Chains A and B, each alone.
Chain A
């Protein structure tokens, strides 16, 4: 763990190794210098990968779960597809006609010990917040709050009772979700507002928080709470029911929502992060639930079944800090189908074995540092949780090619030798068509961009070798071979030979040399004939026509000439007739006959063909 975080922070802090201490003092300086070099060598790539990691978090360019060796990160199964029917779509739509029933209770931290049980209930108000589409005149999206009801809910009920006694329930009518209003509704969310009456209770809660967090600002705020005495304390929380894309976010289930004071505005969407930040200090995801006031409720869509058909929301890119936690809501019991759950457990049980990974940093073939990671399969550079050793190694090899990684089996887990890749030249080794299909933009970060059509060969269920750790073992002989970033095929950007402009993928098939008669050559032959002073204009015209014809068709044999003459008359016949060159054309044919290139029959046929173009009436 320590090694990993070290690297992620951009610098490698040396942990003094035992071997070094024994070295004599005069040598120490040299070693110090060596060590400085080692740090320098590793710093740059580490910085770069740190930057890339952050960039990828902010604006990911691809999903890790789509990589074959990371497929276990994909929690979605295709099991539903087999049973999918079009009617399911209808059911999903019909969800809008379901009523939403909420039964809730309010919890604070162990209140029963101290309290005199003055209050056993709080008032819970549920409002339906509709965020409507912005109209032209509107400055911001119009928001409507529709109160759906107010109920007294028990405060800190006895856990034994919880399961038995049904809590008072609120009902949100299905009509509220119908798109009937003048404003098109973008998204629906539920706003829970809990009002606590009574001063003492507030005091308690506030001071309790202050104890936990120990931050001056918090204290300040709790004191401000105190000033507001006499009035009721209000806690709010907001949950999305339908998101912008009309996807149902709240499935049937039991929920526990951590509530916040009124001043802490509920986490709005814009500010939402994958990290839980409370008072500028990060809180581990589950801590909020054990410390803050929470609202526990059961949510149920009444009406027909079918809410389950909605696919669960995809988990965002999980990193070390946000592993497995959604912002502020945690379904206590997921309504996901069982197979997914079991699968996930399988995935997670692998790192549960106490696996140790020793990163051994090599410089000048000497071990400079060894960092141990226990039970941690996060990538040390980009904090990606790879979950499996194989995936981690594969990821390191492919995504961090500025280093060379060699896997060495270790009785306690694995040793990974890390050294600088001297051969790394930053050259592109992917599909070359990706680079220049969008000059400067291989990947768009701003929505879809029209890209040039490229045909890729997709292999359905390709035969892949079984993932085996042995592929990361240092190869005996072809070490250099392995490091070479050699990709066969068109792994470079080509240029037009005439203009030196980059060749776009759709231009790959065109060969500029397919043209036997480039324009300049056609012009040249015309001007060259034009230069003759003792050749008359009729002869010149026919000669030019014929030359262009021969150049275009590229005749090479004497025995092609009969055919060539006939094709010539077919293509240029109308022009010859129009320009009144028939006799010159006949002279040309006779001359060709004198050279023994065409037969008399060809002359006859060609002239007959020409006559027909001149005067179509003549047969």
Chain B
């Protein structure tokens, strides 16, 4: 809309353009820039307005729901109750005397409503049942308000706080604009360019496709930090080219179920799934592990496959192949499989080191393919069209099913196995050429989110450089050093962590934790897991019961409570000690698991910054997790966050390694009765490392 208006106005100016020269352009760029900024401001205001309105509507809806609920509830009328109660000489009365004779004196019994005790202050928080990793905050989101007294007394505190964030405060207009221009307004600049170009193109037919250099020169002169004229031109090209509706960025694979599905390689089809899947949480783009290993270098533990070496039907491709085989009977299927195996399988991501076949299905039954591919066709291929989606899908499946064309055909659904076979023959040259091994070595590009993660990575690097004393516990990160054993160079070894099932090293790795073979409850030091302050791994400890009864809470292994979330029911009430407290609903035995202390996982640096504010508030939910991270239950957490500190507590905290993650379990220090308030000693962990929950607070809390 704006652009259209603009073009009309420039039409008028056309004649004078040449006379004014670059100065004119500069001015025009400036005015255009101002206009765009204003437009953006308006749009932003509209956005805010509409957001406010939708929010308002949500509140109204919710209020309606609540009102309806209250109507259905039977609440006793206070009036009627008091009328009967106060038919007595005790009744205090209220009298209203107007002072005019025509109005009678009004007398009504005095009703005293019961005083409602106020509840302690609570700042809002979001419920969470598992830790949630957040990035470091580069800007101060808000200037904390701590009452006028504190601000008056200690004005320097806020200043220091802002200094911690390099003076960056969220929503600071004057500060943000130049910064925004630097970081993220290429787009805007180029839209500006586009607008200008449209102005220009309307006047000059010859350069309809591309704006003249003058515009870019003018822009470049106006905003020298945006780069040279050439750079701007490039950027403009990039932004204006994909103008098709519904077009995706070039690096994005089109939807395989959509109409625009293209025929792409296997890696491309699976790229999103591979890179976003968290092998530790089983989720895509999980909340806990910012860096996910891709599966390409994972070894196949077992080469299982379901091959029916019987033809799938009368039209099965096997009839063709078997016809071939008759001519060369020496090639037995099973033998062929064995021989065929070391040769690089087409599209296979697996590596050759696969030697043991743990699949119990037996050798003969698991025959992968009846024959090595005979690239001969006994009859003419049926002329069929392969759509992009089908072709992509074929390439994906061939890397999983190899030569089991019947299965592939079944999964593709729209093609027969014969067609698949024929397509395979046609594709063979391409597939054979694909050097999968080499490609697997370089990690595919990470999925890009709009936000940057630079800060986090930066901090991480610094943290890794930190050298700590030997009793420090470091965060576990799956190791990935292909073709190298887990020796002193392995990050797991240097961090003094065991290798986990998520590591890329072999399952025979010396640094792997073997799990336990307990038949008891795994709650004594007899259990190697318990001894190592680890919960039993359901994929390693197969005898203790940690891998059974997924749905029930009655697991024989007592050392898997955190991962199973077998928490106790907790109830919130004003504490007997300070503020809110948490109370247990049912009695628990000594050493029984009560709850996991959940919250945001933040870096130690971030905890330093946040802790400064929390210390001022005299209220901190920080809990040291390991040398790298801290759990902060201020914004997100679970009910155990309300447990108060005590020097004589009834609970204790224990940081445990739970399937590769450090997690904080709260356990009963002694038998706890129904309705008891829970306390634990905040100073847990090595050498009172928890410096953020100030020890001096103990006096005040206790």
Query: A residues touching B (Cβ–Cβ < 8 Å)?
Result: 51, 54-55, 58-59, 438, 440-441, 444-446, 449-450, 488-498, 500, 503, 508, 511-513, 515-518, 520-521, 524-525, 528-529, 531-539, 543, 546-547, 550-551, 554-561, 564, 580-584, 586-588, 590-597, 599-601, 603-604, 607, 611
Give the contacting residue for B76; candidates A449, A543, A560; CB below 8 A: A449
Given A516-B129, A559-B539, residue A525 in contact with residue B287 (CB < 8 A): yes
Nearest CB on B from A303, distance (A) = 41
Nearest CB on A from B579, distance (A) = 12
Q: Mark B296-320, 1 if CB is under 8 A from A, else 0.
A: 1011110011100000000000000
B700 at interface, CB cutoff 8 A: no
B99 at interface, CB cutoff 8 A: no
Q: Is the interface of B mostly helix, strand, loop or mixed?
A: loop
Other A-B pairs beyond A490-B674, A543-B276, A556-B659, 14, CB < 8 Å: A58-B85, A488-B674, A490-B675, A494-B571, A494-B583, A513-B569, A538-B255, A550-B283, A556-B564, A559-B538, A559-B547, A583-B257, A596-B301, A600-B400
Q: Give residues 375-414 of B contacting A (CB, 8 Å).
A: 389, 393, 396-397, 399-401, 407, 410-411, 413
B88 at interface, CB cutoff 8 A: yes
**Cβ-defined contact, B448 with A532, below 8 A:** yes
Q: Give residues 89-128 of B contacting A (CB, 8 Å).
A: 90, 113-114, 119, 122, 126-128
**Cβ-defined contact, B547 with A497, below 8 A:** no
Complex CA gap A524/B132 in Å reads 11
Nearest CB on A from B302, distance (A) = 8
**Cβ-defined contact, B283 with A595, below 8 A:** no
B145 at interface, CB cutoff 8 A: no
**Cβ-defined contact, B274 with A500, below 8 A:** no
Instruction: Name the CB-closest residue of A to B658.
Output: A556
**Cβ-defined contact, B393 with A583, below 8 A:** yes
Complex CA gap A258/B65 in Å reads 64
Q: Top 9 nearest A-B pairs by Cβ distance? A: A557-B538, A591-B273, A538-B255, A543-B284, A594-B295, A534-B252, A536-B255, A494-B571, A595-B295
Given A561-B282, A591-B273, A591-B274, residue A518 in contact with residue B126 (CB < 8 A): yes
**Cβ-defined contact, A583 with B256, below 8 A:** yes
**Cβ-defined contact, A558 with B84, below 8 A:** no
B570 at interface, CB cutoff 8 A: yes
Complex CA gap A528/B257 in Å reads 22
B296 / chain A contacts, CB cutoff of 8 Å: 594
**Cβ-defined contact, A444 with B81, below 8 A:** yes
Give the contacting residue for B305; candidates A59, A559, A564, A600; CB below 8 A: A600
**Cβ-defined contact, A590 with B396, below 8 A:** yes
Nearest CB on A from B224, distance (A) = 29
Nearest CB on B from A423, distance (A) = 15
**Cβ-defined contact, B80 with A446, below 8 A:** yes
Instruction: Name the CB-closest residue of B to A497.
Output: B572
Given A516-B565, A600-B401, residue A594 in contact with residue B298 (CB < 8 A): yes
Complex CA gap A508/B572 in Å reads 11
Given A496-B572, A591-B270, A611-B413, residue A446 in contact with residue B450 (CB < 8 A): no
Nearest CB on A from B55, distance (A) = 15
Q: Mark B441-461, 1 if CB is under 8 A from A, else 0.
A: 000000111110000000000
Complex CA gap A51/B112 in Å reads 15
B501 at interface, CB cutoff 8 A: yes
Nearest CB on B from A223, distance (A) = 32
Give the contacting residue for B639; candidates A513, A518, A536, A590; CB below 8 A: A513
Q: List 8 A-B contacts (CB under 8 A).
A: A55-B85, A489-B674, A489-B675, A516-B129, A539-B255, A550-B281, A555-B282, A591-B270
Complex CA gap A591/B397 in Å reads 10
Q: Give residues 312-367 of B contacting A (CB, 8 Å).
A: 349
Given A446-B84, A550-B281, A557-B538, residue A591 in contact with residue B252 (CB < 8 A): no
**Cβ-defined contact, B119 with A500, below 8 A:** yes
B563 / chain A contacts, CB cutoff of 8 Å: 556
Complex CA gap A4/B564 in Å reads 65
Q: Mark B546-557, 1 if CB is under 8 A from A, else 0.
A: 010010000000
Give the contacting residue for B450; candidates A521, A531, A551, A603; CB below 8 A: A531
B284 / chain A contacts, CB cutoff of 8 Å: 529, 543, 546-547
**Cβ-defined contact, A556 with B538, below 8 A:** yes
Complex CA gap A538/B248 in Å reads 13
B611 at interface, CB cutoff 8 A: no
Complex CA gap A531/B673 in Å reads 48
A531 / chain B contacts, CB cutoff of 8 Å: 449-451
**Cβ-defined contact, B257 with A440, below 8 A:** no
B265 / chain A contacts, CB cutoff of 8 Å: none
Complex CA gap A513/B83 in Å reads 44
Complex CA gap A532/B449 in Å reads 5
Nearest CB on A from B394, distance (A) = 11
**Cβ-defined contact, B84 with A445, below 8 A:** yes
**Cβ-defined contact, B279 with A595, below 8 A:** yes
A440 / chain B contacts, CB cutoff of 8 Å: 78, 113-114
Q: Give residues 606-661 of B contacting A (CB, 8 Å).
A: 638-639, 642, 659
Complex CA gap A529/B273 in Å reads 12
Complex CA gap A520/B448 in Å reads 23
Complex CA gap A515/B638 in Å reads 11
Complex CA gap A524/B635 in Å reads 15
Give the contacting residue for B128; candidates A444, A521, A547, A584; CB below 8 A: A521
**Cβ-defined contact, A600 with B304, below 8 A:** yes
Complex CA gap A51/B306 in Å reads 87
B399 / chain A contacts, CB cutoff of 8 Å: 590
A537 / chain B contacts, CB cutoff of 8 Å: 255, 258
Nearest CB on B from A56, distance (A) = 11
B16 at interface, CB cutoff 8 A: no
Complex CA gap A532/B253 in Å reads 13
Nearest CB on B from A576, distance (A) = 10
Q: Give residues 402-432 of B contacting A (CB, 8 Å).
A: 407, 410-411, 413
B3 at interface, CB cutoff 8 A: no
B301 / chain A contacts, CB cutoff of 8 Å: 596
Give the contacting residue for A488; candidates B114, B451, B501, B675; CB below 8 A: B675
Nearest CB on B from A530, distance (A) = 10
